[in-house]
Amino acid sequence: MPKYDYLLIGPYPFGHSKQIGGATILFKILVDSCNENRILNAVIPTNKFQGKFYNLVNFFLVLMKAIRLIPLSGTIFLNVNRRGYVYIAPFISFYTWIWNRKFVLRIFGGDAIDIYLLSGFVQKWILYRLYKSCSLLFCETKAEVNFFKSVNPRSFWFPNSRPLGANFISRHYAKKFVYISQIKESKGILVLLNVFQELDSTYQLEIYGPIIEPKLDWIKSTKYYKGILNFDSVTRVLNEQNVLILPTFHHGEGYPGIIIEAYMMSIPVITTNWKSIKDIVAIGRSGILVEPNSKESLKAAILSIDPLNYIILNHGAYELAIEFDSKRIHNQIHNIVNSVDN
């Protein structure tokens, strides 16, 4: 009889600025969900140490802990991004097979299809065998689920989610916009700054997040930059705003968790028609989609919001929040996991 129901492997938010991101928050929500549902679990973080020289250290640390804990666990639940399923997942899958355990693979982000199609022959074969051999394959976007069902029919949607706020929050439009994400060029930060330099002073912008690219360190000296938020501060900051703004064109974008988090606070979003983001935006109801890397499109979207249509956006955001309630989604995931054999 296994000691643990789940062995949870994934990136945990230890507090370092570079560990703050969608994947770490999602993994923590999964761990919390297991604890709340009294699912006995052991946790192996894949990001214990930070820095480019520690990637190999993290890799071997995960493998050593996995070798010890896989025999003691009923279900091995691996949560990884592109680096994880290319390098860590094949080893975990093989050792899980040796012990005849249930292997569940969850893919973060929205670039799994591109990575698979663009891989060389050997890597594509490894990924094919990995996906095919999973007891369950969970994907963040619907497009990935539809694609990988031809490889593994037991592929399911595991979207980004957040705990649902208790009630709808009625808000009044005061032209207050906020950006909360990692700060890198592909997240549209330069386009955003260029737009606000052209708007009058009644439009307010606050920028939060770790600066990932050194060439963007100058943003710290702007009036817009407010620093890095810890996990518990995001709700407080969102509650002071009117609109979340995320003009991303990041290649690995899935369903940005901060959009879901804004919905939980009844806050609409301006974001891009990029990858699968359109799946989580009800256009004109919960938010506005703009063209990627387009200053004109972003500026027009900002100017289009007024006190009247903001009422619709305010209500629509919370309606979307209900669809991405983490408690509901994680209960569905636990039921799916329990329903399948090895």
Q: What is the mean pLDDT of residues 267-274?
A: 98
pLDDT of residue 185: 97
The per-residue b/e assignment along 42-77, b for 16 or more CB within 10 angstroms, e otherwise, is bbbbbbbeeeeeeeeebbebbeebbeebbeebbbbb
Token couple for 236: 């407080």
Confidence of residue 33 (pLDDT cuts 50, 70, 90): very high
pLDDT band for position 19 (cuts 50, 70, 90): very low
What do you get for the CA distance between the two ends of the chain, in Å?
A: 15
pLDDT on residue 16:
54
Total Cβ atoms within 10 A of residue 262:
29
Looking at residue 21, its pLDDT comes to 60
Cα–Cα distance between 131 and 336 in angstroms, integer?
A: 17
| pLDDT at site 213 | 95
User: What whole-number percentage of the chain has pLDDT above 90?
Assistant: 85
pLDDT above 60 (res 24): yes
Residue with tokens 């649902």: 164
Q: Which of 4-18, 57-71, 157-171 has the weakest average pLDDT? A: 4-18
Q: For position 191, what pLDDT does the model report?
A: 98
pLDDT digits (tens, 9 = 90+) for 234-243: 999 999 999 9
Measured between alpha carbons, how far is 127 from 108 in angstroms, rounded to an integer?
15
283 alpha-carbon distance from chain centroid: 21
Mean predicted confidence (pLDDT) in 195-215: 97
Which is it for the CA torsion 99, 129, 39, 20, positive or negative?
positive
Q: Which two tokens stand for residue 199?
A: 């708007």
pLDDT over 70 percentage in the chain: 97
Q: Give the span between the Cα atoms of 224 and 210, in whole angstroms.
A: 14
Walk me through the domains of the chain, giving residue ranges and CATH numbers.
4-160+326-339 (3.40.50.2000), 176-323 (3.40.50.2000)
User: What are the phi and psi torsion angles at 151 (to 5°)?
Assistant: -90, -45
Residues 150-197: tens digit of each pLDDT: 999 999 999 999 988 778 999 999 999 999 999 999 999 999 999 999
15: confidence class by pLDDT, cuts 50, 70, 90: low
Q: Are 159 and 333 in contact (CB under 8 A)?
A: no
Q: Residue 11 — very low, low, confident or very high, per pLDDT cuts 50/70/90?
A: very high
Q: Which residues sit opposite 78 in a β-bridge? A: 9, 105
With vertex at residue 238, the alpha carbon angle to CA 233 and CA 240, rounded to the nearest 5 degrees, is: 105
Mean pLDDT score of the chain, rounded to an integer?
94
- Per-residue confidence at 232, pLDDT binned at 50, 70, 90? confident
pLDDT-derived band at 49 (thresholds 50, 70, 90) equals: confident
pLDDT band at 318 (very low <50, low <70, confident <90, very high): very high
Question: Amino acid letter at 270?
Answer: I
Question: Could you tell me which residues come within 8 angstroms of residue 74 by beta carbon, excluding any fewer than 6 positions away?
Answer: 2, 4, 5, 6, 101, 102
- Bridge-based pairing of strands 243-246 and 269-272 is parallel
The pLDDT score that the predictor gives to residue 89 is 94
